[in-house]
Structure formats: C-alpha cells, structure tokens
A and B are shown apart, each in its own frame.
Chain A
Amino acid sequence: MPGLGASFGRGGATNFLEDLANSDCIVIEGSNMAECHPVGFQWVTEAKARGAKVIHIDPRFTRTSAIADLHVPLRIGTDIAFLGGLIRYVLDNELYFADYVTAYTNAAALVGEEFVDAEDLDGLFSGFDPANNVYDETSWQYEFEEAPESGADDPAEAAEQERSEQDPAVKKSDRAQAAGSGGPPIPAKPKRDETLQHPRSVFQILKRHFDRYTPEMVSEVCGIEPEVFEQVAAWVTSNSGRDRTTAWVYSVGWTQHSVGAQYIRTCSILQTLLGNIGRPGGGILALRGHASIQGSTDVPTLFNLLPGYLPMPHAHQHHDLEEYVADAAGKAGFWGNKPAYMTSLLKAWWGEAATAENDYAFDYLPRINGDHSSYRTITDMIKGKVSGYFLVGENPTVGHPNSRMNRFGLANLDWLVVRDLQMIESATFWKEGPEIETGEMSPETIGTEVFFVPAATHVEKEGTFTQTQRVLQWRHKAVEPPNDARSDLWFFFHLGRILRDRLKDSTDPRDRPLLDLTWDYPVEGETADPSADAVLREINGFGPDGELLNSYMQMRDDGSTSGGCWIYTGVYADGVNQAARRKPAKEQGAVASEWGWAWPLNRRMLYNRASADPDGKPWSERKKYVWWDEDAGEWTGLDVPDFEKTKRPDYVPPDGARAQDALAGNDPFVMQGDGKAWLFAPAGVVDGPLPTHYEPAESVVENGLYKQQANPTLEIIEGPWNRANPSRSDVFPFAVTTYRLTEHHTAGGMSRTLPYLAELQPEFFVEVSPELAELRGLTHNDYATLVSARTAVEAKVLVTERVRPIRLRDGTVVHQIGMPYHWSYTGISTGDAANDLLGIVMDPNTHIQESKVSTCDIRPGRRPRGPELLEFVEAYRRRAGVDSGRVGVNGRDPVDVAAGEGSAL
C-alpha cells in the first residue's frame, strides 16, 4: 500500500477496528463495510450509538449507506476530486490543526526549484518521459539542508542508488510497494520554513495545487450538489482538532483504480492536515479483503518484495549486499537498520552457508529487472513463455479481471498445479470453460497437464493469519484433513524436500541456493506434517545464543542474528507464541493488547506518539492515548508507544546521528527519513508527488480539470484478448462498477459451493436505475446482456433506486451499473463471470487493476451462445473502432498460429 507507506512510513491500517468506537465522525469511502466486513461494522454502529456522525461516500446506496447519517452518491472514479475539494476547504478556511501540521508534517519543508506542478503543465508533473510513460522523480526532491547523501556510510554509492532508482526498468519493477514498512529513502533532511510562508514550502505548493478544487468544481466532476459537499466538509472539520477526531475507512473501492494509490494519498493529506493520524478515533483504516491479505504482503508471495517489505534485489541496481543497503545505511529513521534486517533474513534462509565472506549469500537471491506481476505473467503464458504454474487457493479464471484472458494463459502451459478445497473453474477450464462452447478452445487442443492436489481447511491445520489491523492470530488444529488433503505448508515443505533430495549430488552452482537452504523443520503425525510453530519461530528470529529475539532492535548486520521477517520479530517474545494469546476482552482494557499480537512490537495504533503534543502532553483529556511521563522518564499510556520508550520529547539529534538517533523527540513518523508525515511525497509514488484528478482509463466523461484525460503513467496490456473500450464512446456509453456481497466470497470457491450461502444469494444480477431500465427497455427480474470490447455476459436485472444516474452541469447524464463478481459455471449457484467483461489496466504503483470502473453497453435479453457470441462482440468492436478481438487456437495470436508458431500440436 504505497499510498499509506509514502505518507506515513508503513503500508498498514493506522488504527484498529475497535478504536472506531472512539470516533466523533466516521467517513466510509471506497468501501461497503456493512456488506463486506459486517462484523467489523459493529464498531461503526457503536460509535454512532455514542453520537458520532457516519458518512458514506459511494456511487451506490448500500447496506452501509442505510446506517449512515449521510450518503454521498458521487460519480464512480472521482474521489480525488472530492477529497481534493475537502483539502482546499480546510486550507482556505484555515481549519487545519496548525500545531500538529507545523510539528509533525513536512508542510514546512522546501521543495527544489526544478519542481513544476501539474496545475502548470495541464495535468503532468515535471519529469515526464513520454517515451516510456514514466516520471523521473529527481525534480520532486526537497531542497536539502546538507549535501545529499552526506549522512550515508558511502555517499557516492548512495547517490548512485538514488540515480538508478529513476531508471525505467527499475521503475517498472514496482519499487513503491517497498515502502510498506519504512518510508521511501530520501538523500538528506530538507530545509524548512517554520512560518510556512516560503513559496516553495510544501504548504504553499499544496495550497496552489488544490486551488481549483472548489465546491463548484467538485459538484461538476463528482455530480453531487454543493450543499452535500458543504455538509460533509462541516461535519469532518468540526469533528477534527485537539478535542475531536474523524476516522476514514476504505477498501478496494479505492485501490482498484488506475490512480488507486493516489486516492489513498489524497485521504492521507486530508487526515494529516486535520491532525487525525496517530490519535484515538482517527486514522485511516484500510480494510483488507481476505483473512491474511495483510499477512500476504508482510510475508509476501509478491514478485517485488522480500519479507518485511525489503525489496527484491534488482539486476540493474543491486549487484551486491553493499549496494542493496546503500540507500538506507547510516541514514535517519528506522530504515537506517536495513543492513541488520537483510542480513538476518539471509541468515534465516541460508544459515551456516551465509557468511561475511560470501556477502551472507546475497547472490543466492534471483534478481528482478522489470514488471513480473501476475498480469504480465498471464500474457507470457499465452505466448508460451511459461512452463509451469501453481495456483494455491486462488481462482483467477473467475476472480481476476478479464478472466477469459486468464483462461487462455492456463491453456498454454505445460503443466498446472491447483491446490484447493473444491474443483474450481481454474482447474476445469480445459473441459468446461466458456471458450469450449464458443469453439476457441477444446480439450483436444489443450496440452496443459493438470494436477489437482486437495488442500486442508482452516481448522485442519495450525498457523497464523494477519488480519486487517496487523494483528496475528494463531489457529489451533481441530481435526486432521481427510484423505489426500494437506496443508500448503505440507505441500511446499515436502516438495522442497524431494527437490533437495533429487539434487543432493549436484555440483552445479545454480543448485547451491536450494541445497544450502535451511529446510529441516520438525514433522509430526502419520502424514509427516511440518511444524508451523517452528516456522513462526524462524520468522521471529534468533539471537547469537539461539534465544528467540524480543525485538527487531536486537538484530545485527554481523551475521550473529537471524529472522525471517523483521517486522514480525517479537511475535515470539519471551519464548511465548504471542499470536496465540487469548485473554478475554472483558479482562483487559479497550486496546486489548493481550489478544494476539500486532506488528510492529505489539503496537495497536501506529504513530501514536502523535496523540501527544510536541512536549509529550495529550492534546486533550478526551483524546489522551500515549504521553510522556516525566517522573518515570518514559512514554506511557493505553497502548505500546510507537516510539523509543525513553527518548525525551525535547531530544534533538546531535550532528552526525544515524538511524533512529537522527530522529528528534517530536518526530512521530519514525519510519520516515525525516520523521514527518508527508503532505508532499518527494519520492515513493511513481505517478506524482501530489494527487491529481484523472478520469478512469475507460470513462464516459471528459476530464474537467486538465487536458490530460487519464493517468499518464497507467499500465496497459495489449493483445486481442484485452481490447480497451474507447473513452467517451457511444458504443459503450455506461459506467459499470464491480463489488462483493456479504453472502459470497470473491471468486466463489469458498461460497458458491456451500448450500447455506448459495441459497442466500442464488444468482448473478446487475443493479440498474429505473431511468436506465427505461432507456434500454430492461425489465426487473428478466435477463440483460452486458457488452464490452472483451466479451458479453448475461445477468438478472435488478431495477433499483440504489443506483442513480448522475446529471453533470453540462447536461450529460451518466448511467452507472452495479455488478457483483462472485459467479461462474461451477458450484451450487452458477452464472456468468462478471470479470469476463473487464479489461486489465493498472495503477503504475501497485500493478493493481482498475476493476472498480469501466464502461459497457447493456441490452435486454440473454446473450448469444457459441460462435455467435464471438461475432456479436466483434460487431461491437467494429462499431467502436476497436481492433479485432479474434484469437487463434487457445487464445494464441492468429498470426503466430498461421505461421506455425506457438502451437503445441
């Protein structure tokens, strides 16, 4: 989550669900919390019962809106304009929390003279490279108070690292996400003007940047009445400050956009100006969608990350360990300890084989050199470049946008391993996929060898999930899995064991990393199940004498310590599995620090030093949380302080101080190089240091603010299987958004197969307004067909005022369609896959697709069947002026197939 990471230093929810009860105002935007996180929503209800205002900003009226005091139905894809309007309102009316902003943010920092704002370049910032569609961020940097990199161990090397950071190949490899725990590195601390008056101060740049985001402009772009905007602004600002706090809640309604990271940046700027970060009842609560999606980025199975948000080494940038750590070594903030975190990870993986002489086996790590994310890989599969694929509890032929393209990818593999509980669509595409009916695929032409290897359920194995507020909770095993079903821990441990055994006599240096790997986990029971507890201990890390570490502060860069994920160090503090703690809520305080364990170091609210003023006193009695106890000489309060316990509030770093010692006693954002929350991001966000309103890649409206229509750096995948709908096209005149239902779970493998849930939500439907129904002749409870340049799908029509047409000031009417995406052809409840309709365009920071908004046509009746469907969609493409979407056998390029290439037959 680079939006949060670049703003505050860590890519996790700043506050926790139960803390919402302390809010005076809660804004839920980009989330249907009551529907998708229903049990967490009890804390919103609790706050409301205590008198808090609840605002829901969402294109659709949902179960969340029904509980809210105010529903704001803004046009899909216009949140930056709306939030930008609030920022302008706060600045213009001087409603920001001045003491907080001056002390805890980079408002006073000066930006270099070379920076040119998007306001002056009609939607582009300085440094745009049109050949590669990337920015060179050099001109966005601060004006430094000392020579850049002078604080680093090796200034020249660090400067070289900063330069290579701007290389297009490095850019494409998604470096922004490495700010998940530790803000983006900066070369030195900036010059500051504490009066905030300097024209190049962040504060003044911010004022100029958002000056045109007036209530009238918000009204025009978002399609809501100025009075509604004023009401939101009044409630939010009157419930922020010394004595009151407002919380913002979002989920994938923000991230799944081509400017998704910037949505979160805009909110971060607003919440920082209002002084709501690091304070009870405030913060930005990112609601993740799955049991361990936070855990899956902390301990990532992601191409660009190593555990703890350490970046994967880049071929161009990181030739050895010294280069790898140069951007952080010796500098201010906790990122300054990167060498210790990385060395400990290498020791955890390669143990005795990792020595000072061999750079702690740093060269055993493979290198990335571009975008190797999921969608690129699918493209490579279709082109026959990938041999084997593991799908581990994932169903991309339903759950990923352009599911059809995903199926073509799977059809061109040599082999596929599917690990799941049910026979999901991604395992049966070769005989039951929709392309069999259209004639584009047939089992006889698909050479993919498929292994379905059954998995264990959550009660048939032990281990930890990390939930949305960074809390790890240990699950105990209740029963053994049946028959061949095994945990994924079992599968990968034994696969590794077999592979190591096969290669044990190898002398090929390529096999050393595998043979030297620490892989001797204890096993138990008849099935030789590896111990998850032993793995968690390895993740926690060990000290020089083999004792479990209590804190990552104990990690060293001399090879004497190990630890598989530094931010999780402490989960086994005092030799106890802290994630398994279950002290009943009634027996402890509201923060419930003894239930499970939160990273980092069991701190439940991040940046909570900011809940006290610069002198260490609570901003107010009502909002006290963590404060400085002068008599005890330490920070104390309701939570574990997210600060060095004995660092005095008046501590000033001496010259030449490094890492955490270089941060002052009033720098609450300890993961940032300057200790401040970033209103302006001089690094870490690849599409601009400030958020700017762009229209979605597929939009029915012209950008009202800039000539630049859409994000200039958005990522596109081109091919006949991923055709884009032209913007503002009469052929695809309606906006469509996708979403989830309480009764189903993503691609449906865990819900459409359960009788209870299938009965509660039995079929695929779309929500349309009465106006659109009339316009297109749609009948409630009859079928409709939705068409895009990808394909057409059919669904039952639900005519409802919950979605409403947006009337823009120039008279344009924007019709919006809502479409849940849980269905496909297997299970008890079946239907077309909504994701077949969507194309893939991505946010350049995260490579997350824009599935929250695209365009389509809708018409009454069912879709054509078989080959007729192909001609039906092709006719749409022709009318819209889009290139042909016809594909060869199994989705291969028709030209290649004609030439005999790419054919497995």
Chain B
Amino acid sequence: MKTWLDAWPVYRQLTGTDPLGRGKAARSKATDATVSRTATADKVVKSVCPYCAVGCAQNVYVKDEAIVQIEGDPDSPINRGRLCPKGSASKQLVTSPSRVTTVKYRRPYATDWEDLDLDTAMEMIADRVLEARNKGWQDEDGGERVNRTMGIASLGGATLDNEENYLMKKLYSALGAIQIENQARI
C-alpha cells in the first residue's frame, strides 16, 4: 500500500534498498514517465552533417513530420557516432526561431522589406535574368568569339549538394553566364 510518505525521496532512501540515493530512491513518477525523444520518434532518417568536411553521418529522428533530435550515426566508419558542438546543434538549424521561411522583397531605393509570393518572385527573377543576360551579352571580346554574358554572376556556398552544383553549372553555361564561383575558391 503506497502512502504519501513513499513519494518523499528521503523516506525511500532511508527505508529502502538505496541508502545512497543514487538509484531507485531518487526516481520520481516524472522520471519514470520520461522517455527519450529518440525512443518515441516515428522514424530515423540517415543524413550527413552540413558543417565541416569530415562528413559525420547523422541519425535524424522525426516525429509527427518534425525533427525532434539529431545524433551521430554509430555505424559510420568516419565519425563512429560522434558529433562536435556544431553537429550536435544542427537540429536548431532547422528549428531556429529566427529562420526566415517566406520570400522577402526589397524594391530599389526602398527602406524596408515587403512580402512576395514565391511564384511571383520566380517569374520576376526570370524576367531579370533574361534582361541582364541581354544587357551583358558578348558575341566577341578582343576579336575572339566568346558567346557569353557578363551581366549575371553567381556565388555558391560549399554546402550545396553535388546535384545542385551540377544543375547550376549546367543552366548557367547554357545561358552563357561564366562568372560562376563558389566558396571552394576561398
């Protein structure tokens, strides 16, 4: 028969089998009810840390279509389950309160941002790409055929996927844009 006294850890410590209070006596109902987020996740998705180039494998824990935890993958021969402070914090990359997830637009000479629909933004960007391409077009330079535009430039980060870099280089080249650069230059 449980009494109110049993809910008191000191009482359990003095009367039970855990005189040092480092095990059973210290447990509360709240402790018993606590389950790690990794245990209750709906699924574990295999990923790779996006920070430095070591390429630590990550296990991404998902519950109700949201990321609840990211940990090192112990199967990886490279990181053997370990992550550094950045990799350990990578869940916050996804859930950061300051993350911006809608399109923002600043008109020339404006002093603040406006909201803009994504599809509209894509169409506006396409307009500007074609205009800039024509404005900077060169058939020749210094008497030699170059077939290119100097109106458009691009700078990518080195957290781009290979597939993304590939499509970028392919599209830019077909447009004639050559000033295409990456953090890899740095």
Q: Do the two chains belong together in a single complex?
A: yes
A298 to B165, CA, bound (A): 10
Quick one: which of A717-770 are within 8 Å of B by CB? 742-746, 750-751, 753-757, 760
A300 to B183, CA, bound (A): 11
- Please tell me if the beta carbons of A478 and B47 are within 8 angstroms of each other in the complex: yes
A427 to B, closest residue via Cβ: B104
Q: B14: CB under 8 A from chain A?
A: no
Q: Which residues of A contact B129 (CB under 8 A)?
A: 388, 495, 499
Q: Which residues of A contact B141 (CB under 8 A)?
A: 315, 369
Mark each residue of chain B from 138 to 174: 1 if its CB lies under 8 Å from any CB of chain A, else 0. Answer: 0001101111111111111111111111111111111
A481 to B70, CA, bound (A): 16
How many Å from the CB of B133 to the closest CB on chain A? 9
- Please tell me if the beta carbons of A489 and B93 are within 8 angstroms of each other in the complex: no
A538 to B, closest residue via Cβ: B166
Quick one: which of B76-127 are within 8 Å of A by CB? 76-80, 82-90, 92-94, 96, 98-113, 116, 118, 121-126
Quick one: which of A353-381 are within 8 Å of B by CB? 363-369, 372-374, 377, 380-381
Q: Which residues of B contact A606 (CB under 8 A)?
A: none
B46, B53, B109, B170: which contacts A289 (Cβ < 8 A)?
B53
- Please tell me if the beta carbons of A363 and B147 are within 8 angstroms of each other in the complex: yes
How many Å from the CB of B141 to the closest CB on chain A? 6
Quick one: which of A523-539 are within 8 Å of B by CB? 530, 532, 535-536, 538-539
A864 to B101, CA, bound (A): 37
Q: Which residues of A contact B7 (CB under 8 A)?
A: none
- Please tell me if the beta carbons of B106 and A430 are within 8 angstroms of each other in the complex: yes
Q: Which residues of A contact B49 (CB under 8 A)?
A: 291, 458
- Please tell me if the beta carbons of A421 and B169 are within 8 angstroms of each other in the complex: no
A495 to B164, CA, bound (A): 13
Q: B52: CB under 8 A from chain A?
A: yes
A291 to B100, CA, bound (A): 22
Q: B5: CB under 8 A from chain A?
A: no
A387, A479, A756: which contacts B62 (Cβ < 8 A)?
A479
Q: Which residues of A contact B98 (CB under 8 A)?
A: 422-423, 753, 827-828
Quick one: which of A415-469 are within 8 Å of B by CB? 415, 417, 420-423, 427, 430-431, 443-454, 457-461, 463-469
Q: B67: CB under 8 A from chain A?
A: yes
B64 to A, closest residue via Cβ: A479
- Please tell me if the beta carbons of B177 and A392 are within 8 angstroms of each other in the complex: no
A415 to B65, CA, bound (A): 36
Name the segment of A31-39, A103-111, A136-144, A681-689 touching the other chain: A31-39
Q: Which residues of B contact A495 (CB under 8 A)?
A: 122, 125-126, 129, 171
Mark each residue of chain A from 54 to 98: 1 if its CB lies under 8 Å from any CB of chain B, else 0. Answer: 000000000000000000000000000000000000000000000
Q: Which residues of B contact A466 (CB under 8 A)?
A: 162
Q: Which residues of B contact A299 (CB under 8 A)?
A: 162, 165-166, 169
Q: Which residues of A contact B52 (CB under 8 A)?
A: 36-37, 289-291, 745
- Please tell me if the beta carbons of B164 and A488 are within 8 angstroms of each other in the complex: yes
- Please tell me if the beta carbons of B123 and A473 are within 8 angstroms of each other in the complex: no
- Please tell me if the beta carbons of A393 and B156 are within 8 angstroms of each other in the complex: yes
Q: A517: CB under 8 A from chain B?
A: yes
Quick one: which of A265-309 are within 8 Å of B by CB? 287-303, 306-307
- Please tell me if the beta carbons of A303 and B145 are within 8 angstroms of each other in the complex: no
- Please tell me if the beta carbons of B182 and A564 are within 8 angstroms of each other in the complex: no
Q: Which residues of B contact A312 (CB under 8 A)?
A: 178
Q: A482: CB under 8 A from chain B?
A: yes
Q: Which residues of A contact B170 (CB under 8 A)?
A: 349, 517, 564
Q: Which residues of A contact B53 (CB under 8 A)?
A: 37, 287-294, 467-468
Q: Which residues of B contact A473 (CB under 8 A)?
A: 48, 55, 57
How many Å from the CB of A860 to the closest CB on chain B? 32
- Please tell me if the beta carbons of B62 and A369 are within 8 angstroms of each other in the complex: no
A217 to B80, CA, bound (A): 44
A421, A423, A471: which contacts B55 (Cβ < 8 A)?
A471
Quick one: which of A381-410 are within 8 Å of B by CB? 381, 385-396, 399-400
Q: Given A415-B128, A495-B126, A513-B176, does the pair A484, B101 have CB atoms closer than 8 Å?
A: yes
- Please tell me if the beta carbons of A315 and B186 are within 8 angstroms of each other in the complex: no
Q: Which residues of A contact B148 (CB under 8 A)?
A: 366-367
Which has the most chain A C-beta neighbours within 10 Å: B82, B104, B162, B174?
Answer: B162
Q: B179: CB under 8 A from chain A?
A: yes
Q: B29: CB under 8 A from chain A?
A: no
Q: Which residues of A contact B176 (CB under 8 A)?
A: 366, 510, 513
- Please tell me if the beta carbons of B174 and A39 are within 8 angstroms of each other in the complex: no
A792 to B182, CA, bound (A): 27
B167 to A, closest residue via Cβ: A492
Q: Which residues of B contact A498 (CB under 8 A)?
A: 122-123, 126
Q: B175: CB under 8 A from chain A?
A: yes
- Please tell me if the beta carbons of A451 and B121 are within 8 angstroms of each other in the complex: yes
Q: A848: CB under 8 A from chain B?
A: yes
Which has the most chain B C-beta neighbours within 10 Å: A292, A377, A487?
Answer: A292
- Please tell me if the beta carbons of B77 and A564 are within 8 angstroms of each other in the complex: no
Which has the most chain B C-beta neighbours within 10 Å: A39, A457, A583?
Answer: A39
Looking at chain B, what size class is its interface with the partner chain?
Answer: 35 or more
Q: B6: CB under 8 A from chain A?
A: no
- Please tell me if the beta carbons of A374 and B106 are within 8 angstroms of each other in the complex: no
Q: Which residues of B contact A457 (CB under 8 A)?
A: 50, 93-94
- Please tell me if the beta carbons of A743 and B86 are within 8 angstroms of each other in the complex: yes
Q: B51: CB under 8 A from chain A?
A: yes
- Please tell me if the beta carbons of B46 and A301 are within 8 angstroms of each other in the complex: no
- Please tell me if the beta carbons of B166 and A307 are within 8 angstroms of each other in the complex: yes
Q: Given A39-B82, A389-B155, A513-B174, does the pair A461, B161 have CB atoms closer than 8 Å?
A: yes
A422 to B87, CA, bound (A): 18
Q: Which residues of A contact B26 (CB under 8 A)?
A: none
A393 to B80, CA, bound (A): 28
Q: Which residues of A contact B10 (CB under 8 A)?
A: none
Q: Which residues of B contact A692 (CB under 8 A)?
A: none
Q: A872: CB under 8 A from chain B?
A: no
A386 to B28, CA, bound (A): 66
B124 to A, closest residue via Cβ: A451
How many Å from the CB of A756 to the closest CB on chain B? 4
Q: A543: CB under 8 A from chain B?
A: no
Q: A847: CB under 8 A from chain B?
A: yes
- Please tell me if the beta carbons of A390 and B46 are within 8 angstroms of each other in the complex: no
Mark each residue of chain B from 33 to 68: 1 if its CB lies under 8 Å from any CB of chain A, else 0. Answer: 000000000000111111111111100101001110
A391 to B78, CA, bound (A): 31
Q: Given A363-B147, A396-B155, does the pair A452, B103 have CB atoms closer than 8 Å?
A: yes
Mark each residue of chain A from 577 to 599: 1 if its CB lies under 8 Å from any CB of chain B, else 0. Answer: 00000111110101010010000
Q: Which residues of A contact B125 (CB under 8 A)?
A: 415, 417, 451, 453, 495
A368 to B, closest residue via Cβ: B178
How many Å from the CB of B70 to the closest CB on chain A? 7
A303, A319, A391, A484: which contacts B179 (Cβ < 8 A)?
A303
Q: Which residues of B contact A513 (CB under 8 A)?
A: 173-176
A796 to B92, CA, bound (A): 27
- Please tell me if the beta carbons of A750 and B93 are within 8 angstroms of each other in the complex: yes
- Please tell me if the beta carbons of B162 and A452 are within 8 angstroms of each other in the complex: no
A514 to B113, CA, bound (A): 33
How many Å from the CB of B7 to the closest CB on chain A? 35
A390 to B167, CA, bound (A): 14
Q: B18: CB under 8 A from chain A?
A: no
- Residue pairs across A and B with Cβ atoms less than 8 A apart, 20 shown, are A39-B54, A39-B78, A291-B159, A292-B159, A296-B165, A399-B186, A400-B186, A423-B104, A458-B50, A463-B163, A486-B118, A487-B161, A489-B161, A495-B171, A513-B175, A517-B171, A584-B74, A743-B86, A744-B86, A753-B99
Residues of chain B touching chain A, judged by Cβ–Cβ distance below 8 Å, are 45-57, 60, 62, 65-67, 70, 72-80, 82-90, 92-94, 96, 98-113, 116, 118, 121-126, 128-132, 135-137, 141-142, 144-186
For the complex of A and B, 5 pairs with smallest distance between CB atoms:
A467-B55, A393-B157, A463-B161, A290-B158, A366-B148
* 17 other A-B residue contacts (CB within 8 Å) besides A494-B122, A499-B130, A513-B174: A39-B56, A39-B82, A252-B186, A289-B52, A293-B184, A349-B173, A366-B176, A372-B178, A374-B155, A423-B98, A451-B103, A463-B163, A466-B162, A487-B161, A496-B171, A517-B174, A592-B77
